[in-house]
Structure 1
Amino acid sequence: MLHDSAHVPKPSLTEVLFGWFLRLVSASCFWFALNYWAMLIGFSHEGAGRFDLLTPEWRAAATALAVLYPVAAIGLWLLVSWGPVIWVLAAAIEAAMVEFYPGMLGARPLLLVLHGSVVVTFVLFRAALFWQRLRQARQVRVDSP
């Protein structure tokens, strides 16, 4: 007797590791979100990062990052396709603000290295998954005509 449910293939090691990687990035996004919220309410940076004390550029960026990072964290944790897109947007805003307006938070080269390493790792995982799916598609299947 045949089962009436569709056969779901077991995820590969690459897919499992990619999921764990995205969840790790999600946790870091949540940490960044908490840091931005703490800065905006005056809890960190000895109150120097309070919203009313920021320059207009940093007001816009810090507010956007305080909203984008938790959204990215949720999207990455749920492994949905829009999670990495929101993360790239938030990381690009943060990198641009740190690079072009370093006056408020100072130079943070480690942050740029962190974002860059996440991008490189993400691209490598996506390339590995693409190559794996391409190999699987070329294999002869039992249901091939």
Structure 2
Amino acid sequence: METDSPTIPKRTLTDILFIFFLRLVAVSCFWFGLQYWAMLVGYSLVGAGRFDLLSLPWKVASTSLAVLFPVASLGLWLTVSWGPVIWVLAAGGQILMYGLLPQIFGPNHLIILLHVIVAVIYWIFRLSLWLERRRQRRQVSVDLP
């Protein structure tokens, strides 16, 4: 329902694109979570990634990420403030795995690059939304008698 109430802010194009971006990241997080769960229960990797067959570092990392990614997905989809925080934990976990500990987990430069790109786009959106709201506040203060 559309209203002309001054107390209900209208969504700008930046707001809509930011929500679309967050939901796109949410879908990818859900996919990552499904991949980790499929690995842990033996559905993927021909059963070689089952939890009972993994080394201790892989057990810790994969179970943590199997929980963090779906939770991040939910938070990002709902556009709540804790969604990006959980995503940072999950993405940071993967960056640590594949960037700082490649001797244990193997290198995966594509995952690291994708997480960095998502983080940069997120901060560009946050900056543009902050500038937009700042401009709107100035406009309102100028319009007031």
- TM-score (structure 1 length as normaliser): 0.89
Higher helix share: 2
How far 1:106 sits from its partner (Å)? 3.1
How far 1:141 sits from its partner (Å)? 4.6
Question: Aligned partner of 2:70: which letter?
Answer: P
Query: Could you give the per-residue CA deviations for residues 60-115 of structure 1, whole angstroms, max 9, x where no partner exists?
Result: 11101000111000000000000000000000011111223335653211111110
Does the Cα contact within 8 Å between 2:65 and 2:90 map onto a contact in 1? yes
Q: Aligned residues, how many? A: 142
Aligned twin of 1:126: 126
Aligned twin of 2:57: 57
Moved more, 44-53 or 17-26: 44-53
Aligned twin of 1:9: 9
Does the Cα contact within 8 Å between 1:33 and 1:66 map onto a contact in 2? yes
Alignment of 1:77 with 2:66, yes or no, is: no
Query: Could you give the per-residue CA deviations for residues 24-62 of structure 1, whole angstroms, max 9, x where no partner exists?
Result: 000000000000001111111222211111111111111
Question: Aligned partner of 1:77: which letter?
Answer: W
CA distance in 1, matches of 2:135, 2:143: 17
CA distance in 2, matches of 1:54, 1:98: 17
**Structure 1 residues 101 and 140, CA, compared in 2 at 3 Å: closer, same or farther?**
closer
- TM-score (structure 2 length as normaliser): 0.89
